[in-house]
Structure 1
Amino acid sequence: MVFERGEIVYLRHFQHDAVSGLFPLRAVQHDDQGMLLWGQAGGNQFYTVMTDGRMLRQTPLPEWVAGPKRLVAAEVGHSVLSWHPAGADYSVRFFFSPAGEFLSWYANLEVPAVPWRSEVLAGLDTVDWDLDVWIEPDRNWRWKDEEEFAERLGFPGSYWVDDEQRVRQAGLEVIKLVEAGSFPFDGTWTSFRPDPDWGPIIGTVPLPGWDAPRH
């Protein structure tokens, strides 16, 4: 199964078996090396909150995992190119200003992404491991969300991360590429421009099937 260029793909972040984030993007390329997706500034993304509006960082983790949630939409203020190397424990986001200026890289540490397609939707599923690596254009880097990651590891019965060493190793693999100036941190795609007819993907609710079981 291969995504077609321009096809809308729903990138889904999971926590256990529940969708926690939903990002409608457009396929740029998909081959044996991985998947490249694009999101235009001004589009919508979706994420879950508790029914009273509290976000994850405002909620004790056991309560968050056990409690009912609702999906909310938010406008995206930047454009993003999202690279998902086949079989990798991370993806790399290229952030751009609305005018197209490259701003930074962001390595999202995660379960290797799985593509899928139904009669209604195309999707890409992963489990977000929370700990990330932020990389500036000059390739200075820093860990992101270390405190939250360490705190949540203290709730093994609730947390969706069960292998701290694997997560940190994924980050170290990214850092090695960054420090060497190797792909994808070698300038590739930092001047990317989408097809001119690709506008932002705007919608107040996702299509039916967005909450299908994780692939």
Structure 2
Amino acid sequence: MPSVEFVPGETIRLRHFQRDRPALIFPYRVVEAHDDAVLLWAPAGTRGWLFNMPDGRGLAQTPLPEWSAATRVPVSHTVEHGTLSWVPYGRDYSVRWFFRPDGRFFRWYGNLEAPSVPWRTGATAGLDTSDWDLDVVVEPDRTWRWKDEEELTTRLAMPESYWVHDEERVRRAGKDLIALAEAGAFPFDGTWCDFRPDPSWPPLPEDLPEHHPRSRP
């Protein structure tokens, strides 16, 4: 059982860190909360926050040593698709279902990442993780492809500036998801592809929450 329990219907914040610096903060609604996983929802049009260079450059436009040494600033970012996110505790990934604004499911996205750590500080709660860059995109027919392989390989050559160090672990997590997709097993078995959010849920907050230190296992 996780040290923090979430309540269905509440808002939590997903936070990605690069070492101890925030890289992304995004609000989600808790759909289901279990001992071994949490299911989250954010509709199309939800606003989150990326942390970019003060001059507006993102990671893709910035040399990694400069990026890692800089103090970055929050920039609002709006997603154009609905996202249902299954976060299993203790796993090196989460899996997202992407939905078009009209509610049609169109893709799974296997996000390779450090196991998420739940936290709660006062009225604010969330999940902390570190994104590992490499991902697995799975289409509705369960064909799959790696995403951002080149970025992972290039950045691993700069270990003094990179927050990912174990390429074998990253690829092993991706291969685990690929095996599930090829077998048509959960989470790629059609579960939740017809998901519809509770119409009584209010909009997710659009403000940048107060910063709290990173939570660790």
TM-score, normalised relative to structure 2: 0.95
How far apart are residue 86 of structure 1 and its match?
Answer: 1.9
Q: How does 1:29-68 map to 2 (within 5 A)?
A: 29-68=32-71
SS in 1 for 2:107: strand
Size of the alignment, in residue pairs?
213
| Structure 2 residue aligned with 1:178 | 181
| Structure 1 residue aligned with 2:210 | 208
Q: Which amino acid in the other structure matches residue 4 of structure 1?
A: V
Runs of 4+ in 1 over 6 A off after TM superposition: none
Could you give the per-residue CA deviations for residues 64-102 of structure 1, whole angstroms, max 9, x where no partner exists? Answer: 000121101112111000001121100000000111100
How far apart are residue 202 of structure 1 and its match?
Answer: 4.2
Q: Which amino acid in the other structure matches residue 172 of structure 1?
A: K
Structure 1: 5+ residue stretches without partners: none
Cα 1:41/1:200, change in 2 over 3 Å: farther
TM-score, normalised relative to structure 1: 0.96
Q: Which amino acid in the other structure matches residue 188 of structure 2?
A: F
Deviating more after overlay: 128-137 vs 28-37 = 28-37
How far apart are residue 199 of structure 1 and its match?
Answer: 4.3
SS in 2 for 1:168: helix
How far apart are residue 213 of structure 1 and its match?
Answer: 2.7
Structure 2: 5+ residue stretches without partners: none
| Structure 1 residue aligned with 2:14 | 11
CA distance in 1, matches of 2:209, 2:61: 28
| Structure 1 residue aligned with 2:192 | 189
Question: What percentage of residue pairs aligned between the two structures are identical?
Answer: 54
Q: Which amino acid in the other structure matches residue 115 of structure 2?
A: P
Tell whether the 8 Å contact from 2:119 to 2:215 is kept in structure 1 after alignment: no
Q: Which amino acid in the other structure matches residue 214 of structure 1?
A: S
CA RMSD of aligned residues (A): 1.0
Could you give the per-residue CA deviations for residues 75-130 of structure 1, whole angstroms, max 9, x where no partner exists? Answer: 21110000011211000000001111001000000001011111031110100000
CA distance in 2, matches of 1:199, 1:41: 14
Q: How does 1:64-83 map to 2 (within 5 A)?
A: 64-83=67-86
Work out whether 1:89 is the aligned partner of 2:77: no
Which among 112, 124, 129 is matched to residue 109 of structure 1?
A: 112
Which among 7, 22, 25 is matched to residue 25 of structure 2?
A: 22
Tell whether the 8 Å contact from 2:128 to 2:214 is kept in structure 1 after alignment: no
Q: How does 1:107-186 map to 2 (within 5 A)?
A: 107-186=110-189
Deviating more after overlay: 94-103 vs 194-203 = 194-203
